[in-house]
Amino acid sequence: MRYKFLILPIFFMCYINASELPPYKAKYNFESEEISITGIREFKRSQDEYEISFNASNLLASLFFSSRFTVNNSIVMPKTYDIKITPKFLKRDQSLVFDQKKGLLKSKGQNSWVVKTTESNIVFDPLNVQIMIRIFIKKGLKEFDLNIVEMENGGSKKYTFKTKGYEKCLVGTTEYKCLILERYRKDNERVVKYFLAEELEYMFVKIIDSSPVRTNKLELKEVLSFG
């Protein structure tokens, strides 16, 4: 059975908050056709607010992604999402603000737009959706739908997530039991495959984003701190 996000607050009484997902700091490598770069990915909490970020730089480029959010009854409530990428062949500078009180999602920077949102149809950004995924997997869900923001033009698209079994993953010399999760949309050839380590509270070991025209990969290289 597939669960749609908007019915979850009604039917799931066993709450799992982000506080039950341990903070971590880890070294990841991002690889695409244009670049291969290693940086630090971190998930942390400050009072009632959470942040997940990725920061990487080398002689050719720098990447910075940050998502800030709160969690209410196992549901991620987005606040801000920021991207800063250089140099020119990858350049991107964009900030999102999720105004829950006014029901607005605003973007400024490279792409500027404003769209309306509703409490029953929450839109996630590319980073905080990964926290929502981990919460759902810890609940035992096998298939579910989530809405992810469209960064260029605003609005969102609904994606289906479905588990595909387990596979062994190696990080250095450490072996993990990884749950395989696929993200897809009907009539679209793009597929994102997630590898989540059961021993690390379903922390992402690898993400492979594949389409007919390109493939991007984010892969865990070293856990610096956990819990």
Other C-beta atoms closer than 10 Å to the C-beta of 103 total: 12
Q: What angle do CA 152, 145, 208 make, to 5 degrees?
A: 65
Q: How confident is the model at residue 8 (pLDDT cuts 50, 70, 90)?
A: very low
Q: Which helix (H) or strand (E) holds 129?
A: helix 128-139
How far is 103 from 224, CA to CA, in rounded Å? 38
The 10s digit of each residue's pLDDT in 157-170 is 999 999 999 999 99
The span from the CA of 160 to the CA of 107, in Å, is 25
Residue 7 scores a pLDDT above 50:
no
Q: What three-state secondary structure class fits 16?
A: coil
- Domain spanning 3-226: CATH 3.30.700: no
Q: What are the tokens at 61?
A: 């480029």
> Would you state the structure tokens that stand for residue 219, as one six-digit string?
């892969």
Looking only at the bridges linking them, the beta strands covering 3-4 and 143-149 are parallel
Cβ atoms < 10 Å from Cβ of 142? 14
Distances, alpha carbon 160 to alpha carbons 9, 42, 126, 198, in Å: 18, 26, 14, 21
Q: Using one digit for the tens of pLDDT, what is the confidence trace for 109-141?
A: 989 999 998 877 899 999 999 999 999 999 999
pLDDT in tens, 56-82: 999 889 999 999 999 988 899 999 999
Element (H, E) at 40: strand 36-46
Distance CA 132, CA 118 (A): 18
pLDDT average, residue stretch 174-200: 96
Q: What is the pTM of this model?
A: 0.89
Distance CA 93, CA 202 (A): 30
SS3 label, residue 10: helix
